[in-house]
Amino acid sequence: MRLFVYFLWVLFMLQDIRQHTQGTAAKIIIGIIVISFAFFGIQSILVSGGDNEIADVNGELIYPQQLQQALDTQKRRLISMMGDQFDPAMLDDERLAPQALESLISRALLMQAALALKLVISENDIGATVANMEQFQIDGKFSPVRYKNVLSSAGYTPSYFKQSLTEDMLLSQLSSGMAGSEFITPAELALNSQIMLAQRDLRFFTIPLEKFRSRSPLTEAEIDTYYADHQEEFRTQESLDIEYLELTLDNYRQPVSEAEILAAYEQAKQELQFQTQNRVSHILFESGGDSDLQRRISAAQDKLAAGIDFSDVAKDMSDDIGSADRGGDLGYTSGDAFPEEMEVVIAQLQPGVVSAPLKTAAGTHLILVTERKDADVPSFEDMRPALENTIQEDDAREMLLLTVESLKDLSFNAENLRNPAKELDLVVKQAEGVTRSAAEGLFSNPSVVAAAFSEDVLLAGNNSEVIELPGNIFVVLSVRKHNKPEIEALSVVREKVVAALIEENARVGVLSETERALQALQDGLTAEHFTSVNGYQLNVELGVQRRNTVLPPEVLGRTFQLPSPTPDATSIDFISMPNGDAVVIELLSVAAGELKSLPDQEQAQFQQVLATEAGRLINYEYQRGLRERAKISIL
């Protein structure tokens, strides 16, 4: 591969030299290239043998195209998760490649283990899985057309998808088998019950931050000192004042004449969605030896002639994994769902009559029309709004794209956006104080922010490229002013400084009061007495379990971290809450849990949770063992 790319580069260079250089200079340059090509080309052949594998897993090679496929899948998953707000930087190949390669290695190890255990997946199971996948269905039924379209848009071929699905099902079988081989012993169940179902009695009270917010007025000296010590906290964010042009589809919508809408209606009535619809089933025989193929077709025809139902024959004999499990049902067609030769036969077939064998690129078919119905043509008034909107959008999209092409040319060489705006009758919009973490409006889109802060736009002062956003939106921008980070004057941020200082003093006050409370309780003062004297509310909770939903999560977590109290003393500690309050906790007693304390249904759920966790652990350890024993080379 490297040799081929290098060869293409050499051809390009030679052509360029031939066009622009003559004489001795050209011969010298060509000589250098030939020597370089000979050296690196021969070295590539000798060293790599022409292979371009990137990893070796127990002798199984992983190739760049596999890594690229894994990267593409990972990118599609990230885009799907993040929607319109995805960050292009997250799709960088160098960033994703290590994780993608690691997943390929892990998958190879697991597949090797599955094959060594002679695990298999039947064709019927694969077909049933495909047929039941919602993404391949229309109105709850498998659609071959949708199947092909979805795979094509995702970058898969049917054969590659089938192979990947088979591997996924094998790996799922392996994982399920491992998890199913694990079980929880009575001793493990009892021990987990003691820990997970334990009950704790506690007392606690809250020392609120608000109590210490306004203990005493602040002096100017304190304010000045705090500002001097925390100046970085009062540094402004880097921001940009931006000029931009925004083009949307709505900018180019124009009124539509009644004649245009009528013409569109007449055309729509002739389109496929308003024509006769046929529901079709088939039995597919993929290409094989001529004699074997003919034997299988004849056997199917004999069964049909003997009165065996078409769907039963399809389930037993069809090679179409997507429809065999559904008795060969392919859904409805209006004349464009299947290859042309199939549509011709379908249109001529009477419902209930099986066709003669028909050969297409997919194989040989026996076709049955199971239902034929004429679609009702909607009235003009029903279709009018949709037709008008479609015409408007089509015309507007054409004008929008033409304007975008002109904008690309004009903005590329322009010093700013004013001249392109004047030429195209656009309005220059402005946005001030746009930061790298902007999260509003147009500038919440990461690609727009990335363009604004790019070296070409921010440092070189150029207009950005025209950025295409979802929803037929196009944007080009330039930086009018770069607002660099700077420390704001005390006079500007005085209120912030005062608020921060009050908050800091209050937190110090809470901590000091908490330490005083802990010391008092450890010295033997009761919680009832301390809270009564100091005006705090004492709370008591008995029989608290880990799944308690009444206590704040932070308090509950700390309660189950505390050591069990001794006969002579309770267990005491505190937890700082997110809002700055402190909660002092006194653990009074601990009771071990018992499984029989739960209702029967909850007992079963508890055992299932433990079994699931055990299965997860055994799968993890199994994969770790495969990795430790494997011979893996990253090439």
Instruction: Clarify whether residues 551 and 615 are in a common domain.
Output: no
Poorest-confidence range of 32-41, 69-78, 111-120, 416-425?
32-41
How far is it, in rounded angstroms, from Cα 321 to Cα 147?
12
CB 359 within 8 A of CB 345: no
- Mean pLDDT across the chain, nearest whole number? 85
Instruction: Clarify whether residues 394 and 250 are in a common domain.
Output: yes
How far is it, in rounded angstroms, from Cα 236 to Cα 228?
16
pLDDT, average across residues 463-486? 94
Poorest-confidence range of 35-44, 333-342, 620-629?
35-44
- The predicted-structure confidence for 201-234, as pLDDT tens digits, reads as follows 999 999 999 999 877 788 899 999 999 999 999 9
Helix, strand, coil shares of the chain as percentages rounded to 5?
55, 15, 25
Instruction: Clarify whether residues 335 and 398 are in a common domain.
Output: no
Q: Is residue 576 part of a domain?
A: yes
Q: Is residue 30 part of a domain?
A: yes
**3-state secondary structure labels for all residues of 323-353:** CHHHCCEEEEECCCCCCHHHHHHHHHCCCCC
| CA angle centred on 145, ends 372 and 297, rounded to 5° | 70
Question: Can you name the residues that pair with 367 across neighbouring β-strands?
Answer: 282
Instruction: Clarify whether residues 250 and 209 are in a common domain.
Output: no
pLDDT of residue 195: 85
Task: Please report, for residues 38, 99, 579, 585, the alpha-carbon distance to residue 203 in angstroms, rounded to integers and kept in the order given.
Answer: 83, 48, 21, 6
pLDDT of residue 536: 96
In the listed set 453, 483, 513, which residue is the last one of a domain according to the structure? 483
pLDDT of residue 10 exceeding 60, the answer is no
In the listed set 483, 501, 517, which residue is the last one of a domain according to the structure? 483
Instruction: Clarify whether residues 297 and 446 are in a common domain.
Output: no
Q: What is the CATH number of the domain that holds 283?
A: 3.10.50.40
C-beta neighbour count of 194 within 10 angstroms: 14
Task: Report the candidate in 511, 522, 505, 508 with the shortest Cα–Cα distance to residue 576.
Answer: 511
C-beta neighbour count of 114 within 10 angstroms: 21
How far is it, in rounded angstroms, from Cα 410 to Cα 419?
8
Instruction: Clarify whether residues 390 and 327 are in a common domain.
Output: no
Q: Is residue 450 part of a domain?
A: yes
pLDDT of residue 23 exceeding 50, the answer is no
| CA angle centred on 610, ends 605 and 611, rounded to 5° | 95
In the listed set 449, 483, 517, which residue is the last one of a domain according to the structure? 483
In the structure, what pLDDT confidence band is assigned to residue 555 with cuts at 50, 70 and 90?
A: very high
Exposure string of 59-81, with b = 16+ CB inside 10 Å and e = fewer, is eeebeeebbebbbebbbeeeeee
Q: Is residue 497 part of a domain?
A: yes
pLDDT of residue 517: 96
Query: Helix or strand or coil: residue 466?
Result: coil
pLDDT, average across residues 613-623? 87
Q: Residue for token digits 């006050």? A: 509
How far is it, in rounded angstroms, from Cα 264 to Cα 270?
10
Greater confidence, 339 or 244? 244
Burial degree of 270 (CB within 10 A; 0-12, 13-18, 19+): exposed
**Which range in 19-28, 72-81, 490-499 is most confidently predicted, on average pLDDT?**
490-499
pLDDT of residue 40 exceeding 60, the answer is no
**Neighbouring C-alpha atoms within 13 Å toward the C-beta of 469:** 22
Instruction: Clarify whether residues 618 and 574 are in a common domain.
Output: no
pLDDT of residue 36 exceeding 70, the answer is no
Task: Please report, for residues 41, 320, 346, 370, the alpha-carbon distance to residue 351 in angstroms, rounded to integers and kept in the order given.
Answer: 64, 22, 9, 5
Q: Is residue 178 part of a domain?
A: no
pLDDT of residue 425 exceeding 90, the answer is yes
Instruction: Clarify whether residues 328 and 395 are in a common domain.
Output: no
Contact residues for 534 (Cβ-Cβ < 8 A; gap 6+): 517
Q: Could you list the residue range(s) of the whole structural domain that residue 13 is in?
A: 2-48
Instruction: Clarify whether residues 94 and 29 are in a common domain.
Output: no
In the structure, what pLDDT confidence band is assigned to residue 630 with cuts at 50, 70 and 90?
A: very high
Cα of first residue to Cα of last residue in the chain, in angstroms, is 15
Exposure string of 290-328, with b = 16+ CB inside 10 Å and e = fewer, is eeebeebbeebbebbeeeeebbebbbebbbbbbbbbbbb
Instruction: Clarify whether residues 346 and 386 are in a common domain.
Output: no
Task: Please report, for residues 143, 347, 534, the alpha-carbon distance to residue 328 in angstroms, rounded to integers and kept in the order given.
Answer: 11, 18, 80
CB 136 within 8 A of CB 146: yes
In the structure, what pLDDT confidence band is assigned to residue 513 with cuts at 50, 70 and 90?
A: very high
Task: Report the candidate in 70, 63, 62, 60 with the shortest Cα–Cα distance to residue 1.
Answer: 63
Contact residues for 467 (Cβ-Cβ < 8 A; gap 6+): 447, 448, 451, 474, 475, 476, 477
The alpha-helical segments, DSSP class H, found in 182-219 are 186-196
Instruction: Clarify whether residues 83 and 11 are in a common domain.
Output: no
| CA angle centred on 70, ends 64 and 74, rounded to 5° | 140
pLDDT of residue 50 exceeding 70, the answer is no
Task: Please report, for residues 122, 169, 319, 368, 528, the alpha-carbon distance to residue 287 in angstroms, rounded to integers and kept in the order given.
Answer: 20, 26, 10, 20, 87
How far is it, in rounded angstroms, from Cα 165 to Cα 160?
8
pLDDT, average across residues 225-250? 93
Handedness of CA 430, 436, 441, 444 (dihedral sign): positive
Instruction: Clarify whether residues 390 and 358 are in a common domain.
Output: no
Q: Is residue 124 part of a domain?
A: no
Q: Is residue 283 part of a domain?
A: yes
- Residue 633 sits at φ, ψ, to 5 deg, of -130, 130
Greater confidence, 46 or 391? 391
CB 380 within 8 A of CB 262: yes
Poorest-confidence range of 143-152, 334-343, 409-418, 550-559?
143-152
In the structure, what pLDDT confidence band is assigned to residue 5 with cuts at 50, 70 and 90?
A: very low
How far is it, in rounded angstroms, from Cα 56 to Cα 530?
69
pLDDT, average across residues 150-175? 84
How far is it, in rounded angstroms, from Cα 588 to Cα 564?
8
Domain count, the chain: 6
Q: Is residue 616 part of a domain?
A: yes
How far is it, in rounded angstroms, from Cα 606 to Cα 467?
54
- The predicted-structure confidence for 393-419, as pLDDT tens digits, reads as follows 999 999 999 999 999 999 998 999 999
Q: Which two tokens stand for residue 448?
A: 């727009």
